[in-house]
């Protein structure tokens, strides 16, 4: 992601932060040195939900942006537990999602109590109820996680079947629906390139979104990405992904009416009276994959499951966990080990078939 693209991403963070109290904006600004813009944007969304809940529950009569620090200081552990129940039963958040929101709030409250200082060197908060809140227990052994994942990813011939479906099958399926057919024809090279690149590299959604034209090395079949922790890395992709990227690049400029100033690799169709194009958002890519997955007959398939599909296939064909760990950008090798359980299960099924 080049400098201009980073500035645009941080502009979205600033836009959301502007909807929050001053001390949260200060926290977000401080964290820009250590957290990725994608993480900060997620934090902003989590904070907006929390402060909206405070106002809705009557803990402050006013706007979300004006919630004072003393409201946070007087919150009880039970009140925060009520918020977590709201997330679980009213918003239908999964335990892992709730844990992410707890983590964001713990980080904010820790900053307000232990890092931030008033002009007379006093903390913003003396009391921190979030420090007493525990995460949801969601620990599962790797075999259990692998079992849950196995039915939601692509196996064997499904890799190419799904890629072909995105490239042409979807259009054939909806050829009598002029709106869907025309939209597919306009974006099929782009959509195929995105799906093929994830299946051929295992890149994360945020890494796909952040790619610029200049990040691609079409000679070495690699892409420069910013991984978690703002670490730069060159990640290799497959020959099929290269071919699909070349097909997309051949039409990108004309189909999306781009000038040379737009460096984002994956862009949206021109919208509005001026035909404005912009970098595809994470949600736009998620919705695109969901659309194809549902029509393909595998609705549980998602961007992250495409990444899992790549990793499972890579391990099955190469059996090299350290290289897979680097390819995926995992900080811990234990995270990568889940794919050994997936492929071991497939081996067991193959052995069982011998007795049939």
Q: What is the CATH number of the domain that holds 220?
A: 1.10.443.10
Question: Percent of the chain, pLDDT > 90?
Answer: 62
Question: Where in the sequence numbering do the catalytic residues fall?
Answer: 204, 228, 304, 307, 330, 339
Q: Which domain holds residue 118?
A: 3-139
Q: Are residues 18 and 107 in the same domain?
A: yes
Q: Are residues 118 and 214 in the same domain?
A: no
Q: Are residues 71 and 192 in the same domain?
A: no
Q: Distances in Å between the alpha carbon of 3 and those of 77, 104, 200, 210, 235?
A: 42, 26, 27, 11, 20
Q: How confident is the model at residue 4 (pLDDT cuts 50, 70, 90)?
A: low
Q: Are residues 220 and 341 in the same domain?
A: yes
Q: Are residues 133 and 18 in the same domain?
A: yes
Find the mean pLDDT for residues 183-202. Answer: 95
Q: Which pLDDT score is estimated for 328?
A: 86
Q: 212-256: per-residue pLDDT in tens? A: 999 999 999 999 998 877 788 999 999 999 999 999 999 999 999
Find the mean pLDDT for residues 254-280. Answer: 85
- Which residue in 12, 21, 14 sits closest to 112, CA to CA? 21
From 109, 139, 169, the end of a domain falls on 139
Q: Which residue has the tokens 């760990």?
A: 325
Long-range pairs, 191-194, Cβ under 8 A, ≥24: 191/166, 191/288, 191/292, 192/163, 192/166, 192/167, 192/244, 192/247, 192/248, 193/241, 193/244, 193/245, 193/247, 193/248, 193/266, 194/266, 194/285, 194/288, 194/289
Beta strands in the chain (DSSP E): 216-217, 222-227, 231-236
From 93, 124, 139, the end of a domain falls on 139
Q: Are residues 283 and 295 in the same domain?
A: yes
Q: Are residues 34 and 50 in the same domain?
A: yes
Q: Are residues 185 and 271 in the same domain?
A: yes
From 139, 159, 194, the end of a domain falls on 139
Q: Which residue has the tokens 């809705």?
A: 56
Q: Are residues 245 and 261 in the same domain?
A: yes
> How many domains, the chain?
2
Find the mean pLDDT for residues 160-185. Answer: 94
Question: Percent of the chain, pLDDT > 70?
Answer: 88
Q: Are residues 347 and 307 in the same domain?
A: yes
Q: Are residues 72 and 212 in the same domain?
A: no
Q: Are residues 127 and 155 in the same domain?
A: no
Q: Which pLDDT score is estimated for 140?
A: 53
């Amino acid at each position: 992601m080049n400098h201009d693209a980073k500035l645009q991403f941080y502009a979205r963070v600033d836009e959301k932060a502007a909807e929050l109290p001053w001390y949260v904006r200060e926290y977000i600004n401080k964290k820009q040195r250590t957290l990725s813009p994608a993480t900060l944007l997620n934090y902003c969304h989590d904070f907006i939900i929390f402060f909206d809940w405070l106002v809705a529950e009557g803990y402050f009569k006013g706007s979300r942006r004006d919630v004072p620090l003393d409201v946070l200081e007087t919150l009880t552990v039970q009140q925060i537990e009520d918020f977590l129940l709201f997330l679980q039963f009213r918003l239908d958040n999964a335990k892992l999602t709730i844990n992410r929101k707890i983590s964001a709030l713990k980080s904010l409250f820790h900053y307000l109590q232990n890092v931030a200082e008033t002009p007379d060197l006093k903390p913003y908060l003396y009391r921190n109820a979030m420090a007493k809140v525990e995460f949801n227990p969601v620990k599962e052994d790797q075999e259990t996680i692998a079992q849950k994942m196995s039915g939601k990813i692509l196996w064997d011939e499904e890799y190419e079947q799904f890629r072909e479906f995105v490239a042409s099958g979807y259009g054939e399926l909806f050829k009598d629906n002029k709106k869907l057919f025309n939209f597919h024809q306009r974006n099929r090279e782009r959509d195929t390139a995105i799906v093929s690149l994830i299946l051929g590299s295992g890149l994360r959604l945020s890494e796909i979104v952040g790619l610029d034209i200049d990040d691609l090395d079409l000679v070495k079949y690699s892409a420069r990405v910013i991984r978690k922790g703002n670490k730069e890395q060159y990640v290799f992709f497959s020959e099929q992904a290269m071919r699909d990227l070349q097909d997309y690049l051949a039409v990108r400029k004309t189909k999306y009416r781009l000038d040379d100033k737009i460096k984002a690799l994956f862009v949206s169709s021109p919208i509005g009276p001026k035909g404005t194009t912009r970098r595809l958002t994470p949600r736009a890519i998620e919705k695109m994959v969901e659309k194809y997955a549902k029509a393909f007959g595998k609705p549980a398939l998602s961007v992250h499951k495409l990444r899992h599909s790549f990793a499972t296939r890579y391990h099955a064909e190469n059996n090299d966990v350290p290289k897979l760990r680097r390819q995926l950008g995992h900080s811990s090798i234990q995270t990568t080990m889940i794919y050994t359980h997936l492929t071991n299960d497939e081996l067991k099924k193959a052995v069982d078939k011998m007795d049939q």
